[in-house]
Structure 1
Amino acid sequence: MKYLVWISRIFVGILFIISGFIKLNDPMGFSFKLEEYFSPSVLDLTFFTPLALEISIFVVIAEVILGILLLIGFKPKFTVWSLLLMIVFFTFLTFYSAYFNKVTDCGCFGDAVKLTPWESFTKDVILLVFVLVLFFGKKYITPMFGSKVNWIIGGVALLACMLFANHVLAHLPSVDFRPYKIGANIQEGMSVPENAPKPVYEYAWRFKVNGEEKVIVTEGDYPSVDGEFIDVETTEIQAGYEPPIHDFTIEQEGQDYAAELLEEEKLVMVIAYDMAKSDYEAFEQVAKVTAEAKRKGYKVIGMSASSSDTAEKLIKSYGLDFEFYFTDETTLKTIVRSNPGILVLNKGTIRQKAHYNDFEELTF
């Protein structure tokens, strides 16, 4: 039992630190995932939605700190109980998502590692087993250092997490795991390789043969059956290749201009996924930055999921000299964790990306 506890202690501690730190690098992204869980179609806990970012920060910092406390063996009873409650809740959440197919990606490791709902649930079940080993063997969890040193390590870790969270929220994630990171080409991200795996479907054909229903399963071919066809049920049994970017559009009046605009050598995108939630003071700086970009030959466009009427009001209020195009809100949230934010592109390749606190760092 002693050795099992040591193995579990190292495994759970490191996994919680890694998982928590990846999400701490992008707490805004994790808050968007929580908003999905809180939505009416999932858990219907909409009263938590305004607190999604605060809950996100608390949860990811708790993950990191509990992992560190477990490794150094500090406050083992509190640590193990906290880990157990957390993993039981996560296991329920991932099972609910997988069974009812509600949230297709749990966000357990942010955008760094994508897991299917059932993979997430399996991961949590395995983790729960290790945490139960720690729970029943907590007497074997002994401190690595003295009480004073443990308090210092815990305090420093907590302060570091808070400072890091504040930094990435005030700027952008330190490490960008998304397909819209600097250096990425959007057209290439949307392309499908010629040898990419195709989806595999299973077809359950129903016929009436001699007065009785008969079901024949194939992978596409119409079966040779001497009977009356009733219907067919199609099931995807193996997903095909999905490009990293598969939902990117730049629409205006129902027409997609993405292919045309992504060929521009000098393109500036001002992104505001929801203008009602934007930092309005930042648009004063947007006006200055985009005016400078236009003087240097850049084409400037706005991208938002808000209505055209809202966009027009914003343009008039801040004297913006560019038009807004419509893009899916989730896509815009993925592109940049800032509302508003600015991207500088060259033929579809992202050269610069800036939070509204860092617009003065953009170079044209």
Structure 2
Amino acid sequence: METNFNPTRKRKTNVANVLLTFSRLFVGVLFIFSGFIKANDPTGFGYKLQEYFHVFHLDSLNDYSTWIAILICGFEIMAGAFLLLGLYKKTVAWSLLLLIIFFTFLTFYSAFFEVVTSCGCFGDAIPLTPWQSFIKDLILFVFILIIFSNRNRITPLLRKGALRSIVATIIVLFAFGIGVYTYYFLPFIDFLPYKEGNNIPALMVLPEGKQGDVYEYIYEIKNKRTGEAKKVTDKEYMAGIWEDENWEVVGEPSSRLVQKGYQIPIPDLLISDADGNDVTQEIITNPYYNFIVVSTYADKLSTADIIALDRINTTIRDLSTDFNIRAVLLTASSAQVANSLNEEMDLMLEMFYADAVPLKSMVRSNPGVLLLQNGVVIKKWSKITFPSKEELEKQYLAK
């Protein structure tokens, strides 16, 4: 009796199934992880998208960057989950292929032309350089090609019916809902240097025993007698060339990074008053409870933001009658905008100014509030979660 059994074909089929299964697991888990990490901080991912918008002259999208970030994160989580469950296999396979082609182009463009220093693929949790991101996308591209080529082999874990529809709906709601939640209520996990429990002054200096970046300086020198010109390092120059009167330095020296050192977590915080005086240490080392209200762009506050700021201001004013507290408002807006806001809302907050970059890292809300004492971040709130006077008294001030 003849059979059609072909061991070679069976082995190839088994290998293809193993590759497909591994690819689905690898890509699915990675997409869910990547989407969740970015959805944990959609505002931060939105800031990263604004860098890409600037590169491609799409600055008109800046005002929508956070919501675009939420959509991208949600799609990643949804695509990863559907891939693992085998749902909508053809649509998911095509989506993954188009997505990875786009991201591979984007990361290569960023790396080759050095236009964006970090891709933001895994948010602030796992910073990647553009070249690292490009290599990551190339690896993903291979696995997604395996998925795409074998998309018809994918067997759904759930049959068509009510259960599949319910599971798919839950996945979609979770995927997009998590970004919306963290946008309004702050990230679940704070990966930034201003997170609760951190000592801000300590993170602004180089710790003892640590070495910062090491640079080599290149001098262009010219022999006044012979006209010979050459470039030498600072070590070569100081080894004796500087003593030779025949040689003179031409132009300004250039620098080159020789060794990457310890990176100070908060290198750029400078708080100044309206006259430009540096009051950074005065503000962040206050031994009493110190409310830092952050409104990065005071001129971009919506009506809802104004209402939230008014509630914050009123609560802090009521607290100041019974407790020794200081309350300041930090903004990157101009003094004219800040003064106009102060007059309009009768703010009891002292006005100070800082660059937008550190303010965006302080709290992912505009406005948002930090409670400091002796330079330590005690608590952070978004414009929605800032508590009442009674809650603040009970949890912090009355202790």
Using structure 1 for the length normalisation, give the TM-score: 0.91
Which segment is superposed worse, 106-115 or 134-143? 134-143
**Deviation for aligned residue 1:309:** 1.4
CA 1:238–1:91: 2 relative to 1, 3 Å: farther
Out of 244, 250, 253, the position equivalent to 2:271 is 250
- Alignment correspondent of 2:84: 71
**1:20 aligns to 2:35 (yes or no):** yes
**Which one of 102, 113, 119 corresponds to residue 106 of structure 1?**
119
Corresponding residue for 2:369?
Answer: 342
Q: CA deviation at 1:101?
A: 1.9
CA contact (8 A) 2:32 2:81 kept: yes
Task: Give 2:11's aligned residue.
Answer: none
Give the Cα–Cα distance (whole angstroms) in 2 for the partners of residues 233 and 119 of structure 1.
27
1:219 shift after superposition: 7.8
Q: Which moved more, 1:60-69 or 1:182-191?
A: 182-191
Q: 1:360 aligns with which of 387, 391, 394?
A: 387
Per the alignment, residue 261 of structure 1 pairs with 283
Question: Which residue of 16, 24, 30 maps to 1:9?
Answer: 24
Which residue is 2:294 aligned to? 271
Q: Which residue of 2 aligns with 1:180?
A: 194
Give 5+ residue unaligned stretches, structure 1: none
Q: Is the 8 A contact 1:289 1:359 kept in 2?
A: no
* RMSD (Å) for aligned C-alpha atoms: 2.4
Query: Is the CA contact (8 Å cut-off) linking 2:219 and 2:234 kept in structure 1?
Result: no
Q: CA deviation at 1:100?
A: 2.1
Q: Which is further off, 135-144 or 288-297?
A: 135-144
Of 93, 97, 102 in structure 2, the residue corresponding to residue 89 of structure 1 is: 102
Q: Which residue of 1 aligns with 2:346?
A: 319
Using the TM superposition, name which of 194-203 and 139-148 deviates more: 194-203
Aligned to 1:307: 334
Would you say 1:201 and 2:228 are equivalent positions? no
Residue 319 (structure 2) pairs with residue 293 (structure 1): yes
1:25 maps to a residue whose letter is N
* CA shift in 2, pair 1:86/1:294, >3 Å: same
Partner of 1:235: 256
Structure 1 stretch 61-70 or stretch 154-163: which is displaced more?
154-163
**What's 1:151 paired with?**
165
User: The residue matched to 2:384 in structure 1 has which SS?
Assistant: helix
Is the 2:313–2:349 contact (alpha carbons within 8 Å) kept by the matching residues of 1?
no
Look up the match of 2:4: none
How far off is 1:158 after superposition?
0.8
Partner of 1:48: 61
Question: Of the candidates 166, 174, 179, which is equivalent to residue 180 of structure 2?
Answer: 166
CA distance in structure 2 between the partners assigned to 1:172 and 1:280 by the alignment: 19
Q: Report the Cα distance in structure 2 between the residues aligned to 1:213 and 1:129, rounded to whole angstroms.
A: 50
**Bigger Rg, structure 1 or 2:** 2
Query: Matched residues in 2 for 1:293 and 1:327: separation?
Result: 26
State whether structure 2 residue 146 is matched by structure 1 residue 133. yes
1: CA distance between counterparts of 2:214 and 2:153? 50
Query: Could you list the per-position Cα deviations for residues 259-295 of structure 1 after superposition, in whole angstroms to 9, with x for gaps in the alignment?
Result: 1222212211111000122211122202212213322
Identity of aligned residues (%): 38
**2:306 aligns to what SS in structure 1?**
coil
Structure 2 segments unaligned to the other structure (5+ residues): 1-15
Secondary structure (helix, strand or coil) at the match of 1:179 reads coil
Which deviates more, 337-346 or 189-198? 189-198
In 2, Cα distance between equivalents of 1:186 and 1:266: 14
Matching residue's letter, 2:209: N
Cα distance, 1:230–1:142 mapped onto 2, change above 3 Å: farther
Question: Which residue type is aligned with residue 37 of structure 1?
Answer: Y
Report the CA distance shift for 1:276/1:144 in structure 2 as closer, same or farther (over 3 A): same
Letter in 2 for 1:196: K
User: Secondary structure of 2:293's match?
Assistant: strand
Report how many aligned residue pairs link the two structures. Answer: 361
The letter of the residue matching 2:339 is E
CA contact (8 A) 1:68 1:154 kept: no
Distance 1:153 1:238, change over 3 A: farther
**Alpha carbons 1:293, 1:300 under 8 Å: kept:** no
